[in-house]
Structure formats: C-alpha cells, structure tokens
A = this chain, B = another copy of it.
Amino acid sequence: MSCVADQPGAEGSPRVLVAGATGFAGALAAQLIWHHPGFELVALTGRSNVGRALQELYPRYRVPLPIEDPAGERAQAIDAAVVAYPHAAAAPTVGALRDRGARVIDLSADFRLGSLATYEAWYGEHPRPDLLEQAVYGLTEMHRERIAGAAIVANPGCYPTAAVLALAPLARAGLIADVVVDAKQGVSGAGRRADEDTTHLSMIGENILPYKVAAHRHTPEIEEQLALLGADVRVQFQAHLVPLDQGELASCYVTPTRPLAAADLQELYRDAYAGEPFVELADAPPGTRDVLATNFCRLFVAADQHTGKVVVLSAIDNLWKGTSSQAVQNLNLMFGREESEGLL
C-alpha cells in the first residue's frame, strides 16, 4: 500500500494540518489535500483513534498519515490548517493556530455569523469573540477577494452553501419578497457518530425524516448572507434526512417583489454565474447524483406562471461543496493556486 513518501506535490508546497481528521469533514479534507498537487499535508490530529492511520478508519481515502493527539497541533511548522471540530470546540483551536501564524479554514459555525448576538442566541457563549474580526465567510462565489487575503475563513454550513447560491441573484436584484427553503440531505450531514434515531440504516432506510422544525441553526446564517446581498427577509427553512450518504438538494420557493418573465429570470442567473468554475445552470431539474463527489453546485430556475412564484433547485454534495472541497477551493485562493486545482 501507499507509503508516506507517495504524497503528490509535497516538496516545497505550503504545509497544511488538518485538525479533527477523524470525522467525515476532516477526513475528506485530508484526502483532498493529500492528493492535491499544490499542498503538503503534514499532520492530522483527532480526539479519538490517536495512533491509527487515517486509512484504517477510511480505507478508500488511502491517506497513510497517523492521527496525532490534538497537542500535535502545536508541534508542526505549518502554513495553514483546516479545523474540523464541532462549534465551540473549534474556536480555541483556531486561536491557538493563529497564534502560531497559520492561516485557518474553520469548518465549524464559530466564525460564520457576523453578529455575535446572533451566534450566542443560537450556539451559546462564544469562546473567542476577539477573533471574529479576522474571519471572512467562506462561500467562495460570494466573497472571493476577501477570502484570498483572509487570516480565518469561516467555511459555510452545507445548507447555506446550497441556499445562498440558489438565492443570491434574486437577493442582489431585490427580488425576494418571501422565501421558503425546503432542504433534503443524506446522512453524512449528520456526522460520523452513529445514532439509532437518525443514521442507523434500520431507522433512515425506507424513511424521509424532517427535523428541527422552525429551529435550524442554519437559518440565521442564510438570512445574514442574504442581508449582505441586500435582501432583508426571514427565511422559512426546513431540513429533512433521506436515505443516502452524500447529497443535498435545496428547493427554494420565492415570492418575487414583482412579476418576472421567464427569459429575464434565466438571464439574471446566467449573468450572475457566468465564468464561475463550480456553479452550473442546468436545463433540467438537477439530481444530487449529478454533483456526487464533486465541488459543483448545479442550479435550475423556473418561473411558475400559475402561482407567480420562482422555483430554484440547488444540488450539491454536502460533504464536498457543502464542506470539505469548498475548503480546498478556498485554500487554493488563499495560497494563489488555480481555484479549481485538485478539484476536477
């Protein structure tokens, strides 16, 4: 099997650590960076499975590096780090890594919300509010320039990624009067911890399972991003688990502020995403399988003549564009690499 020396692109490249590499998000980030021609993956840390190679936990990723104790986060000379700890646990680690000069992409919610008050209403006390001003929200297509120079990138939640990409052109044009986002996701979004009420196949198999009615933490994140684009709306957001592993569809139903012709709507989206390497406009409703294991967001938009509403369907892979490959997309930007490098 591969040995450590096999890493492509290791020589002289920026050195990257993945903290929290045993969960789904951290492990995939590690895999993408390991096989990336422009970065060197130098260490993995985790709060469990210390001493085991990552490929013992995830054989198909074939990353031979061992999981080290989180103390190892302080032992390496690194240029960058991806932090994949849960919210609240992430912020102190991000802080410690910043102290050592590393640029950090944080996959948790800790630095996603611009408003400290909103954070604390949804997540409790913030461990490191002093770092908030260093953070840039990492939805690449919305904040590309600021991400390139950021010290901390707050990688978006998977639902906000799909929803904001779906709604941004309408939001920016002041066209959203009211919006419902009905999102469906595979169980990888629920994380690696097995749970008899959600991720157990005997529960989620042959099931469609809505959860967190009127109470999902991604709601304020979506609203804040839409507000930055000029849309001051309250979002009706509802999440559902469905029996698959990776895949997410956000079905968005917008009541526009004024009637929209179909052709104008298509043009609005074509203009908004022209030249984007990872946003596709599809001619037919997108299935999540169309973007499986890719960094693409695939959109379909239609004006419903019968109701006057606009329907936007947005498909991503929640673990890829929704989490770990978007982190790599941002890492590319931060270190001056081609944005799509290692992702096609």
Could you list which residues of chain A lie within 8 angstroms of chain B, going by C-beta atoms?
1, 24, 35, 59-60, 178, 180, 182, 184, 186-188, 192-196, 199-211, 213-214, 219, 234-236, 238, 240, 242-249, 251, 253, 255, 280, 282, 285-294, 298, 300, 302-309, 311, 313, 315, 344
Contact = CB atoms under 8 A, between A and B. Distances in A.
27 contacts: A1-B280, A59-B286, A59-B290, A59-B291, A60-B291, A178-B178, A178-B255, A180-B253, A182-B251, A192-B196, A194-B195, A200-B201, A202-B245, A207-B247, A207-B288, A208-B287, A209-B285, A209-B287, A210-B251, A210-B286, A214-B311, A219-B306, A234-B308, A235-B307, A238-B251, A238-B311, A240-B251
Nearest to A277: B2
Contacts of A306: 214, 219, 234
A344 B63 CA distance: 12
Give the one of A60, A280, A303 with max B CB within 10 A: A60
Contacts of A302: 213-214
B206 A244 contact: yes
Contacts of A184: 184, 208, 240, 242
Contact of A60 (B235, B251, B294): B294
Nearest to A300: B213
B213 A313 contact: yes
Contacts of A35: 344
A236 B252 CA distance: 11
Contacts of A188: 202
Q: Count this chain's copies in the assembly.
A: 4
A210 to B, nearest CB: 4
Given A202-B24, A289-B207, A306-B219, A242 B245 contact: no
A299 to B, nearest CB: 12
3 nearest A-B pairs in the assembled complex, by CB-CB distance: A194-B194, A59-B290, A214-B304
B208 A244 contact: yes
Given A206-B206, A208-B249, A309 B236 contact: yes
B251 A207 contact: no
Contact of A200 (B200, B243, B246, B293): B200
A138 to B, nearest CB: 24
A204 B244 CA distance: 10
Nearest to A192: B196
B242 A208 contact: yes
A60 B289 contact: yes
Contacts of A178: 178, 255
A211 B290 contact: no
A296 to B, nearest CB: 8
A244 B245 contact: no
Contacts of A24: 202
Contacts of A309: 180, 236
B293 A234 contact: no
A313 B59 CA distance: 16
A208 B242 CA distance: 8
A300 B59 CA distance: 14
Give the one of A211, A243, A293 with max B CB within 10 A: A243
Contacts of A307: 214, 234-236
B243 A243 contact: yes
